[in-house]
Amino acid sequence: MPCEKKGKSVVPSIALEEGQENEAIEYRQEKSSRPWLSGRRAVLLGVGIGIGITLIGTRFLPFSGQKSAKSPAAAPVANVRVPAQSVTVAQVKTAPVNRTLKATGTVAAFEMTPVTSQATGLQIQQVLVDEGDFVKAGQLLVKLDDSVLQAELTRAQAAVAEAEANLEKLKTGNRSEEIERAREQVRMAQAEAMQAESDLELARKRVERNRNLEAEGAIARDRLDEIVNEERSKQSAFNTAQAKLREAQQKLKELETGARREEIAQAAAKLAQAKGQVKVVMAQLKDTRVIAPVSGKVAERKARVGDLTSTSEKLFTIIENGRLELRVKVPETQLPLIRLGQSVEITSDVDSSLKLVGRVREIIPIVNEESRQATVEVDLPAQSGLKPGMFLRASITTSTATSLTTPMGAILPQADGSSIAYVLQENQTVKAQPVKTGEILSGDRIEIVEGLQAGDRVVVKGAAYLKDGDRISVISPQ
């Protein structure tokens, strides 16, 4: 603090700052207690302290309750008129309300048909359909390699032709040319047999003569043995000629009398066997063309070109007639609310544009022991774009009742979980009315369970900016 020095005393030259008044008083008391504080020094000190107190009082004057001459007078709050807020209102109405049960479910095929190949070890040459395609019963799905089977079919057909010709020959008999040739063969065989017999007779006579000569010593024993061997050769030739003659005669007889009944039967059996082989090969060829057993939508394709087929591996899975269903899980306590034929609104958490309507087709009478839930099967509309395995939400209509409804925009949720609506009063002000809501309805409306009455007018647009008792101006009632 600046001071003026005058001798050994210190006198304040300006007013004390706020908060320094007590220090000044203590300073004064301390000075007065000193022996040198007397006379002129005391007078000057008193004057300084008085000036300081005066200045401090002037500084705190605005807080003393006195009004400054330059301070403008505050306008009374009661004289300010708040302008009315422009809003739209709607009337609380009665309307039919559907009571619904909320649940979730999974899309499944009503009937899933697997498609397999009846042929084993054949290579897939061509796949003609893909997942998502609609097929008709009997439509070609896959072609397999049939080159080996085609060769077997040609061979089997040739065997059939041969057997047919043989049977026809036996049934119609032999031609005259064949009989005449057989007779000629008999005559030739008879001539050969007669010649052989003559040669044999001559050989026998020579043996007899040479036996007598050998006994007389006219010829050697070796010469007799040669003649005996020649006679034996002639005997063998004679036997052969006789056999040929009998064979020729038997053949002629068969040609003249025709085939026997058992021969015809045997030929017929061979023909049937050949035809059966043809059918077997044709059936195998048929299995090289995999066709659709039912009409429907291809849900799964596993067939790939170049793979080898097996009767145990699926090539396709077809949803019969493309028919899908929603299998909804419902708590057992709510099962009594569900009946066959009830309407079911279906939505998806993934696709907000998906909105379908199904019908309860069957209620499975088995409750899961762990989840205490039962399955309700809901028919889905055809061509809905759904796929098996999709997760959907279902709202099952259990009953219909008449109730109060209002637009959704009139209901304002509160922080404590409750809801209010602003009700228009006769003096053009609004009242914050607690309400209890129910079902959310179509047309952006909601059911009112408690808090409002039919005919009440509630604020819709602009409700979020109001508070209880505000004055409003209705611009367009709804």
In the chain, the amino acid numbered 223 is R
Q: Hey, is 45 helix, strand or coil?
A: helix
User: What CATH fold (topology level) applies to the domain 87-97+402-474?
Assistant: 2.40.420
Q: For domain 100-109+320-400, which CATH number applies: 2.40.30.170, 3.40.309.10, 1.10.3720.10, 3.40.50.920? A: 2.40.30.170
Residue 309 DSSP class: P
- 96 exposed, middle or buried (CB, 10 Å; 0-12, 13-18, 19+)? exposed
User: Token pair for residue 166?
Assistant: 């043989």
pLDDT recorded at residue 250: 85
The top-scoring range by mean pLDDT among 69-83, 175-189, 302-316 is 302-316
pLDDT recorded at residue 258: 58
pLDDT recorded at residue 68: 39
User: Token pair for residue 22?
Assistant: 């007590």
Model confidence pLDDT, tens digit, residues 367-424: 988 889 999 999 988 766 788 889 999 988 887 888 999 999 999 999 999 999 999 9
- Paired with 391 in beta bridges are 106
pTM of the model: 0.45
User: Token pair for residue 433?
Assistant: 């009315």
C-alpha–C-alpha distance, residues 95 and 443, integer Å: 12
Contact 90, 452 (CB under 8 A): no
Query: Measuring CA to CA, how many Å separate 347 from each of 104, 241, 355, 360, 361?
Result: 10, 103, 5, 16, 18
C-alpha–C-alpha distance, residues 165 and 43, integer Å: 166
Q: For domain 113-144+288-317, which CATH number applies: 2.40.50.100, 3.30.830.10, 1.10.3480.10, 2.70.70.10? A: 2.40.50.100
pLDDT recorded at residue 226: 86
- 213 exposed, middle or buried (CB, 10 Å; 0-12, 13-18, 19+)? middle
Residue 121 DSSP class: S
DSSP readout, 330-357?
Answer: EEGGGGGG--TT-EEEEE-SS-TT-EEE
User: What ranges do the domains of the chain cover?
Assistant: 3-64, 87-97+402-474, 100-109+320-400, 113-144+288-317, 174-258
**Band of pLDDT at residue 259, cut at 50, 70 and 90:** low
Contact 474, 114 (CB under 8 A): no
Could you tell me which residue, 77 or 344, shows the higher pLDDT?
Answer: 344
Query: Measuring CA to CA, how many Å separate 357 from each of 29, 341, 378?
Result: 98, 12, 10
- Neighbouring residues of 154: CB distance < 8 A, sequence distance ≥ 6: none
Sign of the CA dihedral with 360 first, then 362, 367, and 368 last: negative
**Residue position matching structure tokens 């379908």:** 356
User: What CATH fold (topology level) applies to the domain 174-258?
Assistant: Helix Hairpins (1.10.287)
C-alpha–C-alpha distance, residues 426 and 409, integer Å: 22
C-alpha–C-alpha distance, residues 89 and 251, integer Å: 120
Does the pLDDT at position 6 exceed 80?
A: no
Q: Hey, is 460 helix, strand or coil?
A: coil
Does the pLDDT at position 435 exceed 60?
A: yes
Q: What are the phi and psi torsion angles at 477 (to 5°)? A: -65, 145
385: phi > 0 → left, psi -120 to 50 → alpha, else beta; which?
left
pLDDT recorded at residue 34: 45
Q: Average the pLDDT over 427-456 and give the result.
A: 91
